[in-house]
Amino acid sequence: MRVLAALSGGVDSAVAAARAVDAGHDVVGVHMALSRNRDQFRTGSRGCCSIEDAGDARRAADVLGIPYYVWDLSERFEQTVVADFVAEYEAGRTPNPCVRCNEHIKFEALLDKGVALGFDAVCTGHYARIETGADGRRELHRARDAAKDQSYVLAVMGPERLARAMFPLGDAASKDDVRAEAAARGLGVSAKPDSYDICFVADGDTQGFLRERLGSRPGDVVDVDGVVVGAHDGAYAFTVGQRKGLGIDRPAADGRPRYVLDVRPSSNTVVVGAAELLTVRGLRGERAVWFGSLGRDEGAGDARDEDHAWTACRVQVRAHGAPVAARARVVAGPDGPGSGVEVALDEPLRGVAPGQSVVLYDGTRVLGQATVAASVR
């Protein structure tokens, strides 16, 4: 196959590309330039989009003996990932930019351009597995190494794009094994630290980044009874479950810490309260993406029906969060039949914010993904 290998400049994508070469594929490496001004992005090991990462990607391609290109996707990245990030916080929600990057950049813009150029698949260094089910359909599964599993942020890609994806590291036993393999192959990134945080927030100050984009918008911090207990410079800078930096000028009557319970953009207020008020026992999601049926056995197409029964599963609401037992059913959403999901949690969660992704699993298999629209406390 003709394979387009996304080279981020890190060790994972380099080893994934090497494995694709070993498998006999015709591999071409490409690095995605996501900012016109690369200095805006993190340098060192903290991000995945700096100018030095492009150099590391080029050197990896040279070692592997594959062609290498840099594609400018900065405009698309700004219009989708960055704009969505700002708009979601402004609307009082908590987005996951890595999920949106996988959706709009790696498995939309990159894949679509690759297919248009005659490539059969895109290869990335994500830790996830692709298996073929009994019905012949491709299934997205958790990685062998649970500590590195990235199926949560990949679930948004959907079955059509999964059909053209390759994740050669899905069966890797550990990140240490991947580093050892990179060193054995002579890849200079073998000891490069992992990337963390949000690549386009250069100094790690998310509140400062949002304030620069959205400006100062002073408002009140109130308790559950509506009593003003503090002030803020912009409700957009807060997220459900937050404890620090609340701008509260008086302690709670019981002396216990207070947390953000709600962000209300319409009134520009932030509501705070006791930790137990963050307990969530149900979720409602929208913009659902399905990899198979939920509550039926006939196939993925049935996920668009509105009369599904409740189905036992496990759900995960954070990239590194633990999955919990739940029941879920497909419902109609803003985008029509099958675009929503209702989740009843068997085990309560704490501090789930609108805008987060909820991913549904059957064992290691991903059933679907949705964006949290509301929670039931």
Residue ranges of the domains in the chain?
2-184, 216-273, 279-376
Residue 307's pLDDT is what? 53
Compute the CA torsion angle 74, 78, 81, 85 (nearest 10 deg): 150
Confidence of residue 205 (pLDDT cuts 50, 70, 90): confident
Mean pLDDT of the chain: 90
> What is the percentage of the chain residues whose pLDDT exceeds 90?
78
Q: What is the pLDDT of residues 321-332, one digit of tens each?
A: 999 999 999 999
pLDDT above 70: residue 124: yes
Residue 233's pLDDT is what? 94
Q: Please say whether the structural domain 216-273 has been given the CATH code 2.30.30.280.
A: yes
Say which CATH topology domain 2-184 has: Rossmann fold (3.40.50)
Over residues 355-371, mean pLDDT = 97
Q: For residue 92, is it left (φ>0), alpha (ψ between -120 and 50) or beta? A: left
Q: Give the closest residue to 78 by CA, choosing from 115, 46, 108, 104.
A: 104
Q: Please say whether the structural domain 279-376 has been given the CATH code 2.40.30.10.
A: yes
Classify 29 as helix, strand or coil: strand
Residue 198's pLDDT is what? 81
Phi, psi of 8 (to 5 degrees): -80, -20
For 347-374, b/e burial (b = at least 16 CB within 10 A) is eebebbbbbbbbbbbbebbbbbbbbbbe
Over residues 121-128, mean pLDDT = 97
Where do the DSSP E strands lie in the chain? 2-6, 26-33, 68-72, 121-123, 128-132, 138-142, 165-166, 219-222, 228-232, 259-264, 269-273, 279-290, 311-316, 324-333, 336-350, 357-362, 365-376
Over residues 343-368, mean pLDDT = 96
pLDDT above 70: residue 237: yes
Which residues are known to be catalytic? 101, 199
